[in-house]
Amino acid sequence: MTDSSTQVALTAHVFAQDFSATPRGARLARRLATYQLATWGIPYGSPASDSAALVVAELASNAVLHACVPGRGFALRLTYDSGTGVIRIEVSDHHPRQPVSVPPPSDADNGRGLILVDAVSDRWGTSVQGDSGKTVFAEIEAMAREFDNQGYQ
pLDDT of residue 143: 76
pTM recorded for the entire structure = 0.84
pLDDT digits (tens, 9 = 90+) for 125-142: 999 887 778 999 999 998
C-alpha span between 77 and 92 (Å, rounded): 8
pLDDT of residue 70: 76
For residue 2, pLDDT over 70 is answered with: no
Q: What is the mean pLDDT of residues 46-50?
A: 95
Maximum average pLDDT range among 9-23, 48-62, 111-125, 137-151 = 48-62
| DSSP state string for 30-85 | HHHHHHHHHHTT--TTSHHHHHHHHHHHHHHHHHHHHS--TT--EEEEEEEETTTT
Better-scored residue on pLDDT, 104 or 51: 51
CATH number of 16-150, picked from 3.30.470.20, 2.40.160.20, 1.10.150.120, 3.30.565.10:
3.30.565.10
pLDDT of residue 152: 36
Domain residue ranges in the chain: 16-150
